[in-house]
Amino acid sequence: MKIGIFDSGLGGLIIAKAIRKEMPKYDFVYLGDTKRVPYGNRSHETVFGFTREAVEYLFKKENCAIVIIACNTASARALRKIQQEYLPKNFPDRKVLGVLIPTVEEVASYKRVGVIGTTGTIASNTFPIEIKKINKSTKVFQNPAPMLVPLAEEGEKKLAIGFIKKYLKPFSSKKIEALILGCTHYPFYKKEIRKILPKNVRVFSQDEIIPKKLKTYLSKHTEIAKKLSQKGEAKLLVTDMTKNVEKLSKKWFGENTKVKLVNI
């Protein structure tokens, strides 16, 4: 059985590459819903429906034992319902994990935290809610950064700089100590973001967090780990072969990457 990684688009490839580097022996399947990206402006019901379809595809068609939802919008708006309602009824022996809670665990010790994310992730208020469950005294400041997803999907950096400065400006008066890049597309811009922010602000990028968290999870959940095949294979699937798919998949995952079109 394999490890599945799902994202609304191609941004999750940055996470997938980091996971594969940390755990090279395992077999992976990446599914990017490039036909319906972005998820950030969708309703809760729509995000849940799209995410459930993707998870079901990875379980049924790709024989995944565990699926990582490498999408903060889906993690915020669909994960809990999938874990509590969908899995027990349909796949009680499989696991679905998100990227949001592992990130929260890393920043909860800070007193003043900033978050940028999609409109949907910020509107859900999930980051502040989950951070305060761990540390009630942490002050959390949020700002949506919706344009960074389509720009990242285009592989565009120059045009993004102006938007990045605009999205970070509200934090300048908040004296934040840490900033969460609350979207799996945003690591594409982490160098630019670190240059713009004061040097004393620590930037938390999920490609630097999730691989180690997953490795630790599997070491504790041997019932899942022992099911996983270890041939070192990786498969990339997309729901629409957009003009940037091949270019970005090679850039974000590896030069020898081959992508297959599927219908979920």
Where does 101-206 sit in CATH, by number?
3.40.50.1860
Residue from 183, 193, 228, 234 carrying the catalytic annotation: 183
Q: What is the pLDDT of residues 194-239, one digit of tens each?
A: 999 999 999 999 999 999 999 999 999 999 999 999 999 999 999 9
246 neighbors 18 (Cβ within 8 angstroms): no
Q: Specify whether the CB–CB gap between 30 and 5 falls below 8 A.
A: yes
List, by residue range, all CATH 3.40.50.1860 domains of the chain.
Answer: 2-98+209-261, 101-206
Active-site residue, 64 included: no
Q: Are 92 and 118 in contact (CB under 8 A)?
A: no
Q: What is the third-level CATH fold of 2-98+209-261?
A: Rossmann fold (3.40.50)
183 is catalytic: yes
CA 160 to chain CA mean position, Å? 20
Which tens digits make up the pLDDT trace of 186-199?
999 999 999 999 99
Q: What is the mean pLDDT of the chain?
A: 94
Q: Residue 41 in contact with residue 146, Cβ under 8 Å? A: yes
Candidates 67, 69, 71, 131; catalytic one = 71
Instruction: Give me the pLDDT at residue 240, please.
Output: 95
Dist CA 51 CA 69 (whole Å)? 8
Cβ neighbours, 10 Å, residue 68:
29
pLDDT tens, residue by residue, 71-91: 999 999 999 999 999 999 999
